[in-house]
Chain A
Amino acid sequence: MITFRMNGLEVMAEEGSTVLETARFYGLAIPTLCHHEGLTPWGGCRLCLVEIGEGPRARLVSSCTYPVEEGLVVRTDTRRVIAARRMMIELMLSVAPGSKVLQDLASKFGVTQMRFVPRNDECVLCGLCVRMCAEQMAANAIGFQHRGRKRKISTPFDARSEVCRQCGACIYICPACQLRCQGPNAETALCNGCLTMEPTCLEQYDDLQCWMYDAGRCGTCVREKTK
């Protein structure tokens, strides 16, 4: 067993497990998008960022891919983490504003504006479908093409795949293309229809006392304090 500190608590985890798994075991909520229990960790969506280390050497890493180490110091909800997560949500939303998963995340994290021109690509390249196809369906019918801004997911040479069994697992797991947000068409603004709850911890933000577990770490009060 490996012992380390998470949000000030001493926690224990089995060797080889990740920070995200440990956090979830201890009931600390960390949002994820490209993570799925049945698939290998990917670390692409950067929502599960946590802060590790202390002082000037503190840095953000994706908890889904970070293996636990003896003596590690992890903080899951610092101001820096929340700010980074909110920017990731904003960036992903600007690509796929129609995704209900992303719209819900925006509401949970109080992302109420989208300052980028929406692209409506409807794919955030989280790679869930690619891994699903390869690892669970053993088909390897789709994969990533190109790199950088030209990156996309498709079959080899964009041709009709001979190995695809049309099982639909890729669509089942997609956070962007199946569940559509039912709110107003997000052309320039966010829906934020789900942002109905008001945070109560305005005085002092304490992640262990926060009662909004179901809604996830909203970070609203942290935002209030930075103003």
Chain B
Amino acid sequence: MKKVENFRTIKDLSAHITALMKERKENWRPTVTISAGTCGRARGSLKVVEAFKRAVREAGLEDKVIVRVTGCHGFCQTEPNMLIEPKGFFYQKVEPRHAKAIVERTIIGGKPIPELLYKDPVTGVKATTERAMRFYRKQKRLISGDNRLVDPASIDDYFSIGGYRSLLKVLRAKSPGKVIEDIKRSGLRGRGGAGFPTGRKWEATRSSRGTVKYIICNADEGDPGAYMDRSLLEGNPHRIIEGMMIGAYAMGAADGYIYVRDEYPLAVRNVTAAIDDLYKAGLLGKDILGTGFNFDLHVAKGAGAFVCGEETALIASVEGRVGEPRQRPPFPSQKGLWGKPTCINNVETWATVPVVIRLGADRFGAIGTKGSKGTKIFSLVGKIMNTGLVEVPMGITLREIIYDIGGGIPGGKEFKAVQTGGPSGGCLPKKQLDLPVDYEGLAAAGSIMGSGGMIVMDERTCMVDVAKYFLNFLRDESCGKCVSCREGTQRMYEIMERISEGKGKESDLALLEELAMACKDSSLCALGQTAANPVLSTLKYFRHEYEAHILDKRCPAGVCKGLIRYVVVAEKCVGCLSCKNACPSGAIKGTLHDIHLIDQEKCLKCGSCLEACRFEAIEARRDEAILII
């Protein structure tokens, strides 16, 4: 571990940063960047790192090549990814066995290895560099782009890309009021979901009475299928801390907390290490860089309750109480942590702050739409060709994200809906594909920006099942304090379950709507107020599917287990045994080249055979048995 220098004045640090930036630019060596965020590690990137370091050592290039282990580069689908400078070759799905060839052919030979390059699923063309890839072309990676440039464990790496210069700029020349003015003018809005103007929040905290103030970074990301905060915390913790320090300076806070869930061990580790380094460097603690600015930063670990992402529940959790929301007002900016004025911002918001300061309010404000400025990271997941984190300017259309960046739906399937904003968001249908993605646009369409989850669904997705899935999540994650949310989500789930089993009544739809509206109207916090969104938006756009379940006892997508049975279409079956091998319960009979048969008694209706069949010879049919009952 490299020793961290201690800085006593702004000048010291400024000189150090300039020196490191110069060194990075001039003393340039071939660099191999291997992504090792949680997604990369899950696919064995640490083994690749090990094998690669060995290969470099064996080739005697230890001093000539920099091997940098970074956080996630965004393209999670093809992990482990490798980026080789100077030519910027992008290798995907690298395995330890490739290490030697990469050293010999690419680093020494300077040629790309064709089989490791990314092949565009639409055009079939192989892309050598990131810029040539469909996935990266339309992105604007202001915040997440630095992930591939820095080793999260090294503070010097962050210095060498100009890190902490925004902080220096603020400490050197800007009064706290001026910083808030800049943030307000930039039009930055909270990235956690509600989109509250950040500058106004800061101003309210600053102008609240009291000398003790706190700031909190909300890293309690818990939406199914969303992980942008994790990626930032793991990949570039200093960027977030720099934002927090600027915020603390502007609001006059001397203490900060990063509330991160314990399910993100790598994020906790990287953030903790970054804070340790900053104390050693003299950038945290008393009288930072001789400016008289005091700031202490702590990590508070959460136990993984979804509701603790709500700010009043988060405060309760940091204080050591049960994570339950309370009525606002008083707002945290008036009475927050331990009764003191507190400003809570999302990870992404804090990470955007240094960018706003660096670019200036006007240049930042030029990105995006009228009401929503800057870029937003979405986690594009589900039935999509290119899964990963995408950072796009506000105002881009859903179609551009899904088709241009995401590469469309795999398997030639039809697009059906996209769910934005996590479990409290809504499902938007095909006709909304040209909707500009910003706070206002999504809200008008009946969904929310949320923290940035984006789940794409194809024609084989049943919308009743999707709404049921999210309700199941919410009925577990509701804190249970107020009746409307606790009982409301539970009862809505029961109705949905009934509908998906083919036992729904015609009156259920009206009841569902009434209950959803009551839940939305009556609940205490945002969790309950938005818990009805999956139901309301699917009812709005996919009512015919509900009706098919209730009136015809039929699941149009062939998903709801109570309404279907899987059968082999004799004309299409070639007897390849794929479905038989995939079946976990041994329900499929047949030998090679014979038409297979599904034993309905044994069938678990898991759908593995449907996925496995390449000849579309398995069909989900309406279960006749339902009619008899």
Taking beta carbons and an 8 Å cutoff, which residues of A are in contact with B? 42-46, 49, 59-62, 65-67, 69, 80, 83-84, 87-88, 91-92, 94-95, 115-117, 124-125, 127, 144, 146-151
Nearest opposing residue in chain B for A60, CB measure: B521
Q: Select which of A61, A88, A116, A144 is within 8 A of B480 by beta carbon.
A: A144
What residues of chain B lie closer than 8 Å to A149, measured between beta carbons? 475-476, 478, 480, 486, 489-490
Q: Which residues of B sit under 8 angstroms from A69, Cβ to Cβ?
A: 329
Among the listed stretches B87-95, B168-176, B510-518, which one makes contact with chain A, having 4 or more residues with CB under 8 Å of it?
Answer: B510-518
Bound: A44/B326 CA distance, A: 10
Question: Are B522 and A49 in contact (CB-based, < 8 A)?
Answer: yes
Chain B, residue nearest A65 (CB): B327
Q: Does B368 contact A (CB under 8 A)?
A: no
In the complex, residue of chain B having the shortest beta-carbon distance to the beta carbon of A124: B483
Question: Please, how many angstroms separate the alpha-carbon atoms of A56 and B458 in the complex?
Answer: 35
**Please, which residues of chain A bring their CB within 8 A of the CB of B522?**
46, 49, 60, 84, 87-88
Given A66-B327, A91-B484, decide whether A147 and B494 contact each other with a Cβ distance below 8 A.
no
Smallest Cβ distance from A142 to chain B, in angstroms?
A: 13
Q: A151, B518: Cβ atoms under 8 Å?
A: no
Asked if B483 and A45 make an inter-chain contact with CB atoms under 8 angstroms apart, the answer reads: yes
- Smallest CB-CB A-B distances: 9 pairs: A151-B480, A87-B518, A65-B327, A91-B487, A148-B478, A84-B522, A46-B522, A148-B476, A149-B490
8 A Cβ contacts from B529-554 to A? none
* Distance between Cα atoms of A222 and B434 in the complex (Å): 42
CA distance in complex: A69, B482 (Å): 24
B474 / chain A contacts, CB cutoff of 8 Å: 148
Question: Is B518 a contact partner of A84 (Cβ separation < 8 A)?
Answer: yes
Q: Which residue of B lies closest to A144 (CB)?
A: B322
In the assembled complex, the CB of A124 is this many whole angstroms from the nearest CB of chain B, namely 7
A124: which B residues are within 8 A, CB to CB? 483
Contact B476 A46 (CB under 8 A): no
- Chain A residues whose C-beta falls within 8 Å of the C-beta of B523 in the assembled complex: 46
Q: Is B407 an interface residue (CB 8 A)?
A: no
* Bound Cα distance from A150 to B480, whole angstroms: 8
Query: Smallest CB-CB separation from B495: which chain A residue?
Result: A116
Contact sample, A vs B, 7 pairs, CB 8 Å cutoff = A59-B521, A60-B522, A62-B327, A117-B494, A144-B322, A147-B479, A150-B476
Given contacts A88-B518, A149-B475, contact A44 B481 (CB under 8 A): yes
Which single member of B479, B484, B490 contacts A46 (CB below 8 Å)? B484
Taking CB atoms, residues of chain A closer than 8 Å to B305 are 147
A152 CA to B6 CA, complexed, in Å: 53
Measured between beta carbons, the chain A residues less than 8 angstroms from B480 are 125, 144, 146-151
Query: Which residues of the other chain, B, contact A94 by a CB distance below 8 angstroms?
Result: 487, 491
Judge if B586 is at the interface, Cβ distance under 8 Å: no
B518 partner residues in chain A, CB cutoff 8 A: 83-84, 87-88
Least Cβ–Cβ distance between B496 and chain A, in angstroms: 13
Which residue, of B326, B515, B522, has the highest number of chain A Cβ atoms within 10 A? B522
Interface residues of B in 109-167 (CB under 8 A from A): none
Residue B299 at the A interface, CB < 8 A? Answer: no
- A80/B484 contact (C-beta < 8 A), A65-B327, A67-B329, A148-B476 known: no
Complex partner residue of A87 from B475, B477, B494, B514, CB under 8 angstroms: B514
Minimal beta-carbon separation of B70 from chain A (angstroms) = 37
Q: Could you tell me the distance between the alpha carbons of A117 and B490 in the complex, rounded to whole angstroms?
A: 11
| B524 on interface, CB distance cutoff 8 Å | yes
Q: A43-B524, A46-B522 are in contact. Are A115 and B511 (CB under 8 A)?
A: yes
Q: Which of B487, B488, B517 has the most chain A CB atoms closer than 10 A to its own CB?
A: B487
